[in-house]
A = this chain, B = another copy of it.
Amino acid sequence: MLLKAAELKESFEPPFYPRCFTLETSHGPVHGPQFMPVGTQGTVKALTPRDLKASHAEMILGNTYHLYLRPGHERIERLGGLHEFMRWDGPILTDSGGFQVFSLSALNKVTDNGVEFQSHLDGSRHFFTPEHSMAIQRALGSDVVMAFDECPPFTEDKATVAKSMERTLAWARRCRDFKLKPHQKLFGIVQGGMFTDLREECLEKLVAIGFDGYALGGLSIGEPVQVMHEMVKIMGPKMPQDKARYLMGVGRPEDLIVGVAYGIDMFDCVMPTRNARNGQLFTSEGKVNIKNAKYVEDTGPLDPQCDCYTCTTFTRAYLRHLFVCGEHLSGILNSIHNVHFYLSLMRRLRDAIAQNRFDEIALPLYTRSL
């Protein structure tokens, strides 16, 4: 069944199925629900590892496509692996490179064997197969490896999406057959576009192959947000109880709350860091565009409820000044706050679930985020 925004009512109401799921990795546990800051090129932009630790980040994400192109996965392996390279001793998840190949590079050809593409850096030609993606992630040494998948545009018709899903399943089997490092876990990715029956079929077949965790991919790629929420609502509770559930590339604070409500354990998104650099800040009082003239002499903290370095040290007036001047410190302080905000939000949701108070805590948080 195709999910259409016009037919969906916008609602966020119980029953919810939130859960606290802990993923064990050789670099420590990941307490779900958890948000993973994105470290595309071997660094979470503008943040040091100690900034991330100070915000209680547990797991970060690395991008296979970027690291393959620069500095190269074999180089990173010779340098001791991605953890050692970027001096991050906590868990790392790497994506498969598939999404970036489809979205960032000049795409030349997709076959059942793999994807030919041109680098966004220098136009050089490359070919990724499921085995290549696995070999790269093995070299990077991440704790969680993502299967190589195909991500069709959300506008594709059902027959095309079904065919693409079969390719994703065939690739998932090839990834499962690939020998990773002993400590590495492999997650399968549920595709199937905006069609609930295809999604369910994909999940069922992935479970039959058997993975260490399952992700919802191909969401938050341009489709209406109600459609994404509805798909999460339908699919989240159906994913295996005993494995981690990961909603890829999502999202805004309200999207994370929805995801948690329907049983998602893990999230990643560039939004907190990217928006930080653009002066878009998330606070307990709603969104703040720090460039706004009304903050020019505002001596209050960015977020009075936040205990991050930025909020406990500086004023909105100063943060505005830094942003207007294009100062490096603007991106640093804003990123510290936004990442802290996301991680604090997830901690509050975890605590609420543990105390059996999720509905009571999450509903007002959701409303305030909008």
- Which segment, of A203-211, A217-225, A311-319, A360-368, faces chain B? A311-319
Residues on B with C-beta less than 8 A from A48 are: 309, 329, 332-333
Residues of B within 8 A of A42 (CB): 318, 321-322, 325
Closest residue on chain B to residue A70 by CB atoms? B325
- For the complex, what is the distance from the CA of A41 to the CA of B71, rounded to whole Å? 34
Contact call A309/B50, Cβ cutoff below 8 A? yes
A43/B85 in contact, CB under 8 A: no
Residues in B with CB closer than 8 Å to A309 are 48, 50
Cβ–Cβ < 8 Å partners of A324 in chain B: 70-71
Q: How large is the interface on A (under 10, 10 to 19, 20 to 34, 35 or more residues)?
A: 35 or more
Contact (Cβ within 8 A) B328 A328: yes
- From known contacts A42-B318, A49-B313, infer whether A78 and B328 are also in contact, taking CB-CB under 8 Å: no
CB contact list, A281-308 vs B, under 8 A: 296-297, 299
Name which residue of chain B comes closest to A79, CB basis: B317
Cβ–Cβ contact B79 & A315, under 8 A: yes
A87 within 8 A of B: yes
A36-70 CB contacts (< 8 Å) to partner B? 41-43, 45-50, 70
Write out the residue numbers on chain B whose beta carbons fall within 8 Å of the beta carbon of A20: none
The answer, yes or no, to whether A75 is at the interface (CB within 8 Å) is yes
A197 interfacial by beta-carbon distance below 8 Å? no
Assess whether A87 is in contact with B321, with CB atoms less than 8 Å apart: no
- Minimum CB distance partner of A322 in chain B: B43
Say yes or no: A329-B296 contact (C-beta < 8 A), given A85-B317, A87-B314, A324-B70.
no
Complex Cα–Cα for A70 and B314 (A) = 18
Asked if A248 CB lies within 8 Å of chain B CBs, one says no
Nearest first, the 9 A-B pairs at minimum CB distance are: A46-B328, A43-B329, A41-B325, A71-B321, A43-B327, A45-B328, A87-B313, A79-B317, A328-B331
In the complex, 21 of the A-B residue pairs with CB atoms within 8 angstroms, ordered by the A residue number, are: A41-B321, A45-B327, A46-B329, A48-B309, A48-B329, A48-B333, A50-B309, A70-B321, A70-B324, A70-B325, A71-B317, A71-B324, A75-B297, A78-B297, A79-B297, A80-B299, A85-B315, A85-B318, A85-B321, A87-B318, A277-B328
Given A43-B328, A46-B328, A86-B318, 10 extra CB contacts under 8 A: A45-B328, A46-B329, A46-B332, A79-B299, A79-B315, A79-B317, A79-B318, A80-B299, A87-B313, A277-B328
